[in-house]
Structure 1
Amino acid sequence: MLRALLPACVLVLSITCHAESVTPSAPALFNADGYRISLYRSPTPDQAAGATVIGTQQLQSLLDQPRKPLLIDVYRRQWLQGRFIEDEPHANLPGSHWLANTGDGELSAQWMDYFTRHLRRLSDGHLDQPTVFYCRADCWLSWNAVKRAKALGYSEVYWYRDGLDAWQAAGLPVSPAQPETLQ
């Protein structure tokens, strides 16, 4: 009886081993430049190179300073046929500028220009302008935007890691938001 089952066991083992060897690998998480390119909504690190990670209390302290920081929201918004499509209302921290879609790991020339141009305009070209990037909790988009701003030479960069979720959890006000125009 055992001898009769042996060929079937070998066949099952062979199929199982073969199936594991052809299973596709997980998608790459980072590109060659170190930007996160997939699974944007997943746990984020405790730090971002060259940036100061802040919580809600630290952000409120910065907002009370005479030289107020720029608040940059990088939450995604669908872009279709040359315009942003509002699939659901979005709110952000009062006084924020929404540079939608600029936290993606790989930006086309058009989106990189959008990011660069608006940062330059909002900071009056001052690379030392305090700038806070945020999105939502467990969102790599703001981490990417911090990395990108540092690469552009911005020196006083803050990452509000838990972003809009932490702000709302603290019971602080939000404002209806519209992305900055692409033009």
Structure 2
Amino acid sequence: MRINSLLSLFALSALMAALPARAAEDTPNSIPGGTFVSVDQAKAQFDKGAVFVDARVAAEYAEKHIKGALNVPFKEEFPKVAKTGPGDKMDLGKLPADKNKVLVFYCNGSPCWKGYKGADQAIKAGYKKVSWFRDGMPAWEGKGLPTE
């Protein structure tokens, strides 16, 4: 009987270890209070002088980013899901003081929530012209657009 209990416990432990800690959620196709933009729309905003905000960590930004983008990393308490928490952080002081500037937030494409969450925080902070470029760096690079 004890062996059966141990085997059951072992099987349950193995099953639990195989499950992801938190399933990734897809990012949405819109952002409340802001504008969802495609790669072509993001490029049009780039050409008009919009401020691009890279919400990725500094190491990713240093490797490659959209030309002229600001690096304002979004630190997530809950990565890969819509949920936010008190551990979420972004230095809004790095954004332009003018809340009427066009801001375009991005990160590593549709599975990445940092750009969405950063754009959401900017909207809540009173920025009026916030865009979220969901497809981010993969789409920008895929089109051969300017990076540095």
Q: TM-score, normalised by structure 2?
A: 0.72
| Aligned equivalents of 1:88, 1:64: Cα separation in 2 | 21
- Conservation of the 8 A alpha-carbon contact between 1:70 and 1:130: yes
| Aligned equivalents of 2:60, 2:107: Cα separation in 1 | 17
Quote how far apart the aligned CAs of 1:27 are: 5.4
> 1:135 corresponds to which residue?
107
> 1:117 corresponds to which residue?
93
Q: Describe the shift of the 1:174–1:57 C-alpha distance in structure 2 as closer, same or farther (beyond 3 A).
A: same
Amino acid at match of 1:118: K
SS in structure 2 of the partner of residue 92 of structure 1 = coil
- Conservation of the 8 A alpha-carbon contact between 1:103 and 1:144: no
| Aligned equivalents of 2:92, 2:86: Cα separation in 1 | 11
Quote how far apart the aligned CAs of 1:63 are: 2.2
| Aligned equivalents of 1:45, 1:87: Cα separation in 2 | 23
| Aligned equivalents of 1:88, 1:61: Cα separation in 2 | 22
Q: Determine which of 49, 55, 68 is the counterpart of 2:38.
A: 55
Deviations 1:101-158 (A, max 9, x none): x25254659x44xx12111xxx2x2212110000011211111111111111111100
- Conservation of the 8 A alpha-carbon contact between 2:54 and 2:61: no
Gapped regions of structure 1 (runs ≥ 5): 1-10, 30-38, 78-85, 176-183
Moved over 4 A (4+): 23-29, 86-89
Q: Determine which of 73, 76, 80 is the counterpart of 1:104.
A: 76
| Aligned equivalents of 2:99, 2:61: Cα separation in 1 | 33
Q: Determine which of 105, 125, 130 is the counterpart of 1:157.
A: 130
> 1:95 corresponds to which residue?
68
> 1:144 corresponds to which residue?
117
- Conservation of the 8 A alpha-carbon contact between 1:143 and 1:159: yes
2:57 is equivalent to residue 76 of structure 1: yes
> 1:46 corresponds to which residue?
29
Instruction: Give percent identity, aligned residues only.
Output: 23
Q: Describe the shift of the 1:87–1:128 C-alpha distance in structure 2 as closer, same or farther (beyond 3 A).
A: closer
Gapped regions of structure 2 (runs ≥ 5): 78-84
CA RMSD of aligned residues (A): 3.3
> 2:144 corresponds to which residue?
171
Task: Give the greater-gyration-radius structure (CA).
Answer: 1
Amino acid at match of 1:56: V
Deviations 1:16-69 (A, max 9, x none): xxx6xxx6997568xxxxxxxxx4xx531111111111111111211222xx21
Amino acid at match of 1:53: F
SS in structure 1 of the partner of residue 32 of structure 2 = coil
Quote how far apart the aligned CAs of 1:76 are: 2.3
Alignment length, in residue pairs? 133
| Aligned equivalents of 2:65, 2:87: Cα separation in 1 | 25
